[in-house]
Amino acid sequence: MSEQTLSNLLKEDRRFEPPADLAEHANLTAEAYERADADYEAFWAEQAGRLSWETPFERVLDWDDAPFAKWFVGGRINAAYNCVDRHVEAGHGDRVALHFVGEPVDDTRDLTYAQLKDEVSQAANALTALGVETGDRVAIYMPMIPEAVIAMLACARIGAPHTVVFGGFSSDALATRLADCKAKAIVTADGGYRRGAPSALKPAVDEARAKAASNGHDVSKVLVVQRTGQDLETWDDDVDVWWHDAVGSASTEHACEFFDAEHPLFVMYTSGTTGKPKGILHTTGGYLTGSAYTHWAVFDLKPETDVYWCTADIGWITGHSYITYGPMANGATQVLYEGTPDSPERGRWWDIIEKYGVTLFYTAPTAIRSFMKQGREIPDGRDLSSLRLLGSVGEPINPEAYVWYRHVIGADKTPVVDTWWQTETGSIMISPLPGVTHGKPGSAMIPIPGISAEVVDDEGNPVPDGSGGLLVLTKPWPSMLRTIYGDDERYVDTYWSRFRKQGYYFAGDGAKKDTDGDLWVLGRVDDVMNVSGHRLSTTEIESALVSHPKVAEAAVVGAQDEDTGQAVCAFVILTDEAGDGGKDIVEDLRNHVRKEIGPIAKPRQVMVVAELPKTRSGKIMRRLLKDVAENREVGDVTTLADSSVMDLISKGSKASS
């Protein structure tokens, strides 16, 4: 790590103390860190105790066959019972579980926990009637509608692990996943609403089913929710079943079965370094403990009074842990929104916050930066005073975006919790505790109580405060992945071989410890560049660019360079006010980075673009930008939210070179 890089980071001296009333009534206080350190297994047993177990567990952790973990050994539990039935039994049946907001304005529906219990029971009965048995895999390919959550919980109820595939993914992506986990059935919809128009889903399911069949895997049933009422070109009476027929006619009585704590709950596919996606396997007791505990602790949830909203899609791990499982295990009231942030107009999210009095809000830095770009007038026109806490997830949040989020959306009174975690970790690992930790823009701070993280050098030795290295988790945790579905060897290789001697989980991220010992996650280590032997973070240069008044968003990649090994190439979107930025914009920005970080970080190239290539979950696909920067044919764009973006960028770069 170059001295200059670190000194730039250490310039960040803004601090925000927890609000006094939040601190006074916080769910988790500072003593939890000590308690968890003093007896880690007892601490996790206590967290598991927030769930209802049919049979109590006998042993907290069995790590004898590391890195294959068993948590809460001997316990029997049902995740759906914990997320729904027990709240009704406790007298909270009338509490709203979901405020559903469809994309078409006024298409709203509230579901109470009692109603949800009926619908989940009906869906569980319907799946069983369609031949789905405990242990069978069920794919879910849905828009963000209540039936998506209901389908997940119905699967959990009968012990059939689900695999949710993003509604925005192609039929190819769906087919690969169907075949990899050998899904017995698919739950889908005719379509959903996106940017004001119905967008079809069922045709992609038909295609994917055909592709999977040609690879030797037959899906036997497809359960279809009628969401848009659009025409369906094909309907196979032997396979396709309408949800309103099968679920609508099913009984609302369903006696749920309880499963071993290690019974598989779901498989979530995520991209790895190779082309083949990894099916991350999570099991029931540990995962639910982790998601429920962290949702309660990090968001300071008060289920009687809070209205929570996480804007993620359920096709992403954040939607699993912080829409379906964590909040519902805690009996929360939440908003579920189907559409895009700017449909029918740019203030849609803020209208929803105002209408439902949202108190806890969880979104991604990429969304925050796009709102920054639109200007503060839009949120300023709404009453956002109900908000008491803001969360961020998915990528490092630049200090500028953090401060804007807190200042403009949070009226300078809400803590911002920057939460670091992964599909593999199942739940939040590193985050401030809102009633305890002061906020430091750009830092995820320290591991939450019960979690042990470290920043180490290549040999696995902890780095001193003030330096950088690789982020590892040094002890197992309940919501950890159990394996990669069907590939134990890849599981061991990917996560546990780098620091085998120490037994550390290697997250694949680079991080720094500042002089206070607080953590700054820098992004994937493959995003860390090496320019003339100096380690530079893409994130840090991006932050420097975004701190320029004319820049709305920036993505940086390291491109091969004969002289320096790698060279910094930046793609920037200018703010609306900046117009085309003026004739010297490229030189201005290169010098700005030089000034902010140092000469070593000065980009070789700055390209002004209109859009950046992003996945559906909002991650910038730097791999594609790297192709442009290295003058290569642009690679696979199938996981982009909008695949036309790359055409524009490639054309622009040719025109300017």
Interaction pattern, residues 241-280, with ligand 6R9; x per rule: CB under 6 A: -----------------------------x----------
Determine the Cα–Cα distance for residues 447 and 32; give it in Å rounded to an integer.
12
CB 289 within 8 A of CB 72: yes
CB 269 within 8 A of CB 277: yes
Nearer to ligand 6R9, 168 or 394 (CB): 394
Determine the Cα–Cα distance for residues 461 and 459; give it in Å rounded to an integer.
6
Q: Decide if residue 418 touches ligand 6R9 (CB under 6 A).
A: yes
Is position 309 annotated in a ligand binding site? no
- Minimum Å gap between C-beta 62 and ligand 6R9 is 26
Is position 134 annotated in a ligand binding site? no
Given the rule CB under 6 A, which of 20-28, 78-86, 390-398, 476-484 is the region that contacts ligand 6R9? Answer: 390-398
Nearer to ligand 6R9, 8 or 617 (CB): 617
- Minimum Å gap between C-beta 436 and ligand 6R9 is 18
Q: Decide if residue 395 touches ligand 6R9 (CB under 6 A).
A: yes
Given the rule CB under 6 A, which of 38-46, 121-129, 293-301, 418-426 is the region that contacts ligand 6R9? Answer: 418-426
Name which position in 204, 393, 551, 649 contacts ligand 6R9 (CB under 6 A).
393
Name which position in 148, 165, 444, 455 contacts ligand 6R9 (CB under 6 A).
444
Determine the Cα–Cα distance for residues 87 and 295; give it in Å rounded to an integer.
17
Q: Decide if residue 521 touches ligand 6R9 (CB under 6 A).
A: yes
Nearer to ligand 6R9, 40 or 421 (CB): 421
Name which position in 331, 339, 523, 603 contacts ligand 6R9 (CB under 6 A).
523
Q: Which amino acid makes up residue 564?
A: T
Q: Decide if residue 394 touches ligand 6R9 (CB under 6 A).
A: yes
Is position 304 annotated in a ligand binding site? no
Name which position in 421, 485, 504, 506 contacts ligand 6R9 (CB under 6 A).
421
Given the rule CB under 6 A, which of 16-24, 86-94, 181-189, 505-513 is the region that contacts ligand 6R9? Answer: 505-513
Given the rule CB under 6 A, which of 137-145, 175-183, 405-413, 519-527 is the region that contacts ligand 6R9? Answer: 519-527
Interaction pattern, residues 611-630, with ligand 6R9; x per rule: CB under 6 A: ------x-------------
Sorted by sequence, the CB contacts under 8 Å of residue 242 that are 6+ apart come out as 223, 224, 226
CA 51 from centre of chain: 23
Name which position in 29, 52, 386, 422 contacts ligand 6R9 (CB under 6 A).
422
- Minimum Å gap between C-beta 94 and ligand 6R9 is 33
Is position 628 annotated in a ligand binding site? no
Name which position in 190, 240, 300, 509 contacts ligand 6R9 (CB under 6 A).
509
Nearer to ligand 6R9, 394 or 558 (CB): 394
Alpha-carbon separation of residue 265 from 125, 306, 332, 436, 456 (angstroms): 18, 27, 21, 33, 32
Residue count (the chain): 657
Given the rule CB under 6 A, which of 256-264, 291-299, 417-425, 582-590 is the region that contacts ligand 6R9? Answer: 417-425
Nearer to ligand 6R9, 139 or 317 (CB): 317
Q: Which residues inside 294-323 make contact with ligand 6R9, applying CB under 6 A?
A: 317-318
Is position 410 annotated in a ligand binding site? no
Tally of CB atoms within 10 A around 652: 16
What token pair was written down for 130? 């369609």
Q: HSE on the CB side for 461, CA within 13 Å?
A: 4
Determine the size of the site formed for ligand 6R9 (CB under 6 A).
Answer: 21
Sorted by sequence, the CB contacts under 8 Å of residue 472 that are 6+ apart come out as 453, 454, 455, 456, 460, 499, 502, 504, 505, 506, 507
Is position 636 annotated in a ligand binding site? no
Determine the Cα–Cα distance for residues 631 and 210; give it in Å rounded to an integer.
37
Sorted by sequence, the CB contacts under 8 Å of residue 227 that are 6+ apart come out as 143, 145, 147, 189, 190, 191, 192, 193
Q: Decide if residue 396 touches ligand 6R9 (CB under 6 A).
A: yes
Q: HSE on the CB side for 277, CA within 13 Å?
A: 23
Is position 622 annotated in a ligand binding site? no
Is position 590 annotated in a ligand binding site? no
Nearer to ligand 6R9, 393 or 529 (CB): 393
Angle (nearest 5°) at CA 220 between 217 and 223:
125
DSSP string of 106-149, one letter each residue = T-EEEEEHHHHHHHHHHHHHHHHHTT--TT--EEEE--SSHHHH
Name which position in 2, 291, 419, 479 contacts ligand 6R9 (CB under 6 A).
419
Is position 455 annotated in a ligand binding site? no
Is position 290 annotated in a ligand binding site? no
DSSP string of 77-115, one letter each residue = E-HHIIIIIHHIIIIITTSEEEEEE-SSTT-EEEEEHHH
- Minimum Å gap between C-beta 385 and ligand 6R9 is 26
454-460 CB contacts, 8 Å cutoff, 24+ apart:
454/504, 455/511, 455/512, 455/513, 455/519, 456/499, 456/502, 456/504, 460/499, 460/501, 460/502, 460/504
Q: Which amino acid makes up residue 236?
A: D
**Closest C-alpha to 45, from 37, 55, 56, 34:** 56
Is position 423 annotated in a ligand binding site? yes
Interface with ligand 6R9 (CB under 6 A) = 270, 317-318, 393-396, 418-423, 444, 507-509, 521, 523-524, 617
